[in-house]
Structure 1
Amino acid sequence: MRRLILAVVGLALLAGIVWAFLPRPVEVEVADVAPRTLQVAVAEEGEARIREVFTISATIGGKLRRIDLHAGDPVLAHKTVVAVIGPAAPALLDSRARGVAEATRSAAKSAVDLARAQVAQSEAALEFMTSEADRSAALFARSAISQRVLDTAILEQKTAQAALDSAKANLAVRQRELESAEAVLGTGDPFCAETTCIDIIAPVSGRVLRVLSESEQVVQPGTPIMEIGNPGNLEIAVDLLSRDAVRVRKGAEAQITGWGGAPIAARVERIEPSARTKVSALGIDEQRVRVILTLHGDPNDWQLLGHGFRVIAQINLWKGDDVQSIPVGALFRDGSDWATYTVQDGRARLQVITLGERNESFAQVLSGVTVGDQVILHPSDLVADGVAVNLSSDR
């Protein structure tokens, strides 16, 4: 009897040891291969910008008055004066140039005095010749002198009149030369410059976006002064990788998020035909293509969105209904192929599959599994082909 008990205990101990070393089923989480609506989109940072931005520049060189407008102020086309430019102060003269200018002014003053003396002389000569002509006319009327003597007196009178006119013209020239010499020395009227100011008028209606030159200063022709645009006419510019841009189609739907407000519906308006090289944060050269989006819906939804704001644009590349799809979490690489573990009769089975389109959550399955198959999500290192599994469903 004692031997029988010992035998039973030994068999039980052996059975316990065998049971302890038997492989247990691996706990796994599974999901179904099922038809779903699958949408593929590309997301990238973009920039909101006013479609037409006008840069107001100085039309002439001169002294720009201080700008009273500020960013956000409204302007009206062809009415609002956005800037005023007057003549700049003349260049400073060194001692040598000033000496030359003062000598020129003195010479001009002397020339004016001489011209005035010549005018006085011509006036006296004209007065004498006039009296002579009148006397000759009286004598000719009494037949005291010949016609030739009378004609000579009239000729001399006209010559004296022409000499007076010439002297007066010469005086005017000398006076202008004096004014020019005084202008070089800066002795002219400083207030006459106010009448020569140029007003720069807003070319379009909108709001001031930026004032580039606010303080009073001397500017050259073409100097940017301010930027004007219509905040209600916004577009979104997104730089996509060239491999993503080739899949974007004109008119594709998009969604604008990440700007601080509710999502905004948008649509692809234009895809630029050329790419530009941009360096990524990792220092990698990337070929980027600019895609322009237009906003749709109620403008009140994006009235707080401004020029230069950062946004996230999600552009739809592909959409399919009733697409046989598998969760992305069930996929892994098997060499150069995609594979997944299906559950058959309580065991994991390795299955090579062919994929089509995919997004962050699901992928389109072209072959390898069928609708209704259960696949293992996020398989661990314990899962292998033929391993027993214990299911916990996540559908």
Structure 2
Amino acid sequence: MMKMHPGGLLVALMVGLCLTAPGSFAQAQDAPPVRVGTLTVTLQPINPGKEFVGRIEARERVELRARVTGFLQEVSFQDGQPVKEGDLLYRIEPAPFQAALSRAQGALEQARGQAAFADAQLSRAEDLLKTQAGSAATRDQRLAEQLTAKGNVQIAEANVQAAEIDLGYTEIRAPISGLIGRTNITRGNVVGPDRGVLTTIVSEDPMHVTVPVSQREFLTLRSADRVAAKDELAALIHFSDGSPYEHPGKIDFVDASVNRSTDSVTMRAVVPNPNGRLIDGQLVKVTLQLETPIEKILVPQSALIADQQGFYVFVVEDGKAAIRRVTLDDEIGTSVVVDSGLTVGDQIIVEGISTLRPGAPVSAQPATMLQPKAG
């Protein structure tokens, strides 16, 4: 239901009571036609929206950490610069890890040699057993030695693989494209998994904007005439100085639960950010509205009259002024949305209302004011 200023409501109520004073109907029968201006009721496309405070969030955020312990040899970026996925950012001193890899490779060759010797010993024991020159116990012992040697080869191969992985971790590369923050560690320091975050990368395009919507407003946005599904909502962004952002966002997520501390539902929109104007963590004003306008009846607020029963307008019926009770919704500029009480084609009186009485004959002319528009 539309809300009006208390002073305006009192004036409108007094006008309404005066218009319906006793004896006015009888006087109206003998009065000459009143010259009035009318507008024809039509459906107007409107795009209702509600404004909230939202926060810009990067779609992807990565905290970079060292995965091996060593001295930081090189920092390969400037704080705050854009980076691409795969760019080298840090290099940890690789020499100790190269040595560990060489040691593991040597152990692998040693294990392979022992495995080859065990294979030969097993083959010899089996040949001797066939000629009865050897024993089954000896053959079984050689078989066990061969299996042990094969196991040692697998362990050595795994150690080589682990050493190669550790050596690869000495180069820290960007896992995503985006904007890199300030480095927390400079070269020459020891870094490692337990030494904290080196720096952070946030993606830039697209961005997310999250909006906490009160439970009451959320129900309004999801009502039948507003939004049937989240896919119908658009998010229009304005910066703190009031300037608009040129790219609208689209709602892609509505939280499944209500935040108990704030009694709000979090909604999120995806917003293009090709020029980098949106910054992670930024507070903005967000208007949630329908992407596709809906058609509603609009009337000028000046045509409304209030009395103790609510709001009504005058319409022309058979050449006379008639009262039509209306149910109102939101204000759109200088007009108001009418939910019920009027139909398309009705002639509402918007000029000459002050002298009207119900049932008074009227001489209707097109009003000089413009047809009400949305916004």
TM-score normalised per structure 2? 0.49
Structure number with bigger Rg = 1
